[in-house]
Amino acid sequence: MVNLLAAEALHARWPGADEGALTRARAELVRESALAALARTLDLGNELTLGAGEIKTGGFRRDSILADALEAIVGAVFLDGGYEAARTLALPWFEPMIDALPSPRDVGRDAKTRLQEWLQGRRRPLPLYALLEESGEEHARIFTVSCTLEDEPGLQASGQGRSRRAAEQAAAESVLARLEGSTIAK
């Protein structure tokens, strides 16, 4: 039910978007972590009745439980009141999430992919990523990575993350933002 409502809201918002963009956007809205975040904004965890074991282990904070509970509420409203009742309940919940999505062209595409496509579209060489530093204890590593444009070495940015990939994404996002905001990109 949540999938259907999200798909309907996205189609209404972006009627000209292609199927791939709509599918990626829907996946962003209904993934477990997004539904759990929504459930947290509704303070749903504190309303759940859980067994003693789940209470001890913090089940009311677990993404899987929160996401499932949110879907169950929407499903229960649908079974009790029909499609319009479920739609009326859930669509306002998704509006801020839809507003926060990037353009249909960019939704679901990570920063490294967007940067690569931006550069390739202008026949420029691909960026170079280099690991600058690893710090922190083994269970809580922090990676720092640089992203440099081969044909414009002065345009460089670094990013940090809990994994090398996350650090590369952060660095790529910074370079892309600078490119899109510069006169070179226009």
- Poorest-pLDDT segment among 8-17, 101-110, 145-154: 101-110
Average pLDDT over residues 75-81: 97
Domain match, 127 and 67 both? no
Domain match, 54 and 131 both? no
Number of domains in the chain: 2
Query: Rounded to whole angstroms, how far apart are CA atoms 98 and 12?
Result: 11
Q: Are 176 and 118 in contact (CB under 8 A)?
A: yes
Domain match, 128 and 176 both? yes
Domain match, 6 and 85 both? yes
Q: How many other β-carbons are positioned within 10 Å of the β-carbon of residue 17?
A: 18
Question: Looking at per-residue confidence, does 175 or 185 come out higher?
Answer: 175
pLDDT, the chain, mean: 88
User: pLDDT at position 180, please?
Assistant: 77
Band of residue 182 on the pLDDT scale cut at 50, 70, 90: low
End-of-domain residue from the set 100, 133, 163? 100
pLDDT of 106 strictly over 70:
no
pLDDT of 49 strictly over 50:
yes
- Poorest-pLDDT segment among 5-9, 21-25, 41-45: 21-25
For the chain, what is the radius of gyration of the CA atoms?
21
- List Cβ neighbours of 99 (8 Å cut-off, separation of 6 or more): none
Full residue range of the structural domain in which residue 40 is found:
2-100
Domain match, 16 and 92 both? yes
Is residue 186 a part of any domain in this protein? no
* Paired tokens of 131: 């690991």
pLDDT of 42 strictly over 90:
yes
Domain match, 66 and 127 both? no
Domain match, 116 and 70 both? no
Question: Looking at per-residue confidence, does 120 or 83 come out higher?
Answer: 83
pLDDT of 185 strictly over 50:
no
User: pLDDT at position 183, please?
Assistant: 44
Domain match, 72 and 120 both? no
Domain match, 94 and 131 both? no
Query: Rounded to whole angstroms, how far apart are CA atoms 58 and 166?
Result: 27
